A and B are shown apart, each in its own frame.
Chain A
Amino acid sequence: MTPARRQSLLWLAQRGSAVVLALCVVVHVATMIVAVRGGLTAAEILGRTRGSVAWAAFYGLFVLGVAIHAPIGLRTILAEVRGGHARGIDAAMLAFAAGLLALGLRAIFAVTTGSAP
């Protein structure tokens, strides 16, 4: 893949994931405020999230958005600091994305099922 095609697709992925994140962050923050002000305890919250496919799907989308968005932005920052793109940066960002995805999905699994994977 040429740098031009790669940059264009990465730009598209970052803009698309930004739209998803904007929505997810608003829903997440609003839910947190409502839950805390409503006086729900952690146990009550976990009781509602456990087994909830909708909750898992929403936060799965959230985690996916983060795993796409953050490494692309960090890749740009590293390239600017370093003074140019290099294969090493791309490999490191792929690993970073995989790490974010694994940690996020693990947390969702744990909250949804009540057990650590």
Chain B
Amino acid sequence: MTGLPMSPPPGRPKEGSLPLGGKARSAKGALIGPPPGRPKEGSLPLGGTARSAKGALMSPPPGRPKEGSLPLGGTARSAKGAPTSTLSVRVWRGGAEGAGGRFVTYKVPRVPAQTVLDVVTHIQRRIDATLAYRFACRVGMCGSCAMTVNGRARWTCRTHVQTVAGDGALEIAPLAHLPVIRDLVTDMGEFFDKWARAKGQFVPTATRHDDFATIAPASQERRAVDAAIECIGCGVCYASCDVVRWNPAYLGPAALNRAWTLVNDPRDGAHNQRLAAVAGDAGCHACHTHQSCTDRCPKQLSPTASIASLKRKAAFAAMTGAIQ
């Protein structure tokens, strides 16, 4: 087998890439809510043409059920056309707590197979066009729609209302442990900066003149990478981590998980530097193994296991003098 399929290099969302006053995209290309006074339905891709994370224009897939089954952007109605019941939805509006932010309650029609993202979209399309939130793919691929739903960080696009709001009440807030830009949009800058601080970039050792690296699929390193590589950087683990709450300098589960995949990549040339980067006061040893990250990872990864493995690897490196 040639080459490890690595996730994209961590990139920090540019500061200016979240222009809340206009149509905006996050680092992942997610759309932010339209500015006040511009509730153009056609400007959002739901139900119409859409843009992928990379900005390419996409059409709805052929044969896809029409709006009625997934009422994104439209009035939520049952199969017979009438709203089935009403959800009481508390949505965080404004900036951070203490900076004018507060919960505002909306009434949203309840329909079958409704996701939390459907609810947020309904509010923005039908009730208050100034609501800012972030999403892109709607199918659990991009990781940009993560929010705090009834106190727990989740992907809103893959969370059905019926699983979290049995009593008809929803509370939707921005991800915890990240600065709130506005409403449900957080600044992911620090989250991705920590990926860079954990040396989450692949450092090549080969040149174009070298042959492809050969990595046995059954090798221990390859299996370790396989177990951790599917992270898409949604921030759910980071928002769920108690240690991040106590210690804002802590690198966090996602950055450490990323470092673990690279430590196991035999093509990488910065193993020791990476171990030194993740073993500091705010690194892997700060983890308390609460396992909230593992419990809540929508990709069913185990950052806890990656962090525990980093601890062992770093200890061995310290003993052998690889970490000075």
**Which residues of A are interface residues toward B (Cβ below 8 A)?**
1-5, 7-12, 15, 76, 79-80, 83-85
Instruction: Write out the residue numbers on chain B whose beta carbons fall within 8 Å of the beta carbon of A8.
Output: 279, 285, 311, 314-315, 317-318, 323
Instruction: Write out the residue numbers on chain A whose beta carbons fall within 8 Å of the beta carbon of B219.
Output: none
User: With the chains together, A85 CA to B247 CA distance in Å?
Assistant: 11
Q: From residue B113, how far is it (CB to closest CB) to chain A in Å?
A: 44
Total A-B residue contacts, Cβ distance less than 8 Å: 58
Please, which residue of chain B has its CB at the minimum distance from the CB of A13? B315
The answer to whether A7 touches B283, judged by C-beta atoms less than 8 angstroms apart, is: yes
The answer to whether B276 touches A4, judged by C-beta atoms less than 8 angstroms apart, is: yes
User: With the chains together, A83 CA to B250 CA distance in Å?
Assistant: 11
Q: From residue A115, how far is it (CB to closest CB) to chain B in Å?
A: 41
User: With the chains together, A85 CA to B283 CA distance in Å?
Assistant: 13
Q: Does B22 count as interface, using CB distance less than 8 angstroms?
A: no
Query: Quick one: which of B267-324 are within 8 Å of A by CB?
Result: 275-281, 283, 285-286, 311, 314-315, 317-319, 323-324
Chain B, interface size category, equals: 20 to 34
The answer to whether A4 touches B275, judged by C-beta atoms less than 8 angstroms apart, is: yes
The answer to whether A12 touches B281, judged by C-beta atoms less than 8 angstroms apart, is: no
Contacting residue for B314 out of A4, A80, A83, CB 8 A: A4
The answer to whether B280 touches A7, judged by C-beta atoms less than 8 angstroms apart, is: yes
Query: Quick one: which of B35-56 are within 8 Å of A by CB?
Result: none
Please, which residue of chain A has its CB at the minimum distance from the CB of B275? A4
User: With the chains together, A2 CA to B247 CA distance in Å?
Assistant: 20
Instruction: Write out the residue numbers on chain A whose beta carbons fall within 8 Å of the beta carbon of B314.
Output: 4, 7-8, 11
Contacting residue for B281 out of A1, A9, A15, A84, CB 8 A: A84
User: With the chains together, A48 CA to B275 CA distance in Å?
Assistant: 50
Q: From residue B177, how far is it (CB to closest CB) to chain A in Å?
A: 15
Given A1-B324, A5-B279, 5 other A-B residues pairs in contact with their CB atoms under 8 A: A2-B324, A3-B281, A5-B276, A8-B285, A12-B318
Given A11-B311, A84-B281, A85-B281: A4 in contact with B323 (beta carbons within 8 A): yes
Q: From residue B89, how far is it (CB to closest CB) to chain A in Å?
A: 36
- Of A9, A15, A79, most B-chain CB atoms within 10 Å: A9
Instruction: Write out the residue numbers on chain B whose beta carbons fall within 8 Å of the beta carbon of A5.
Output: 276, 279, 318, 323-324
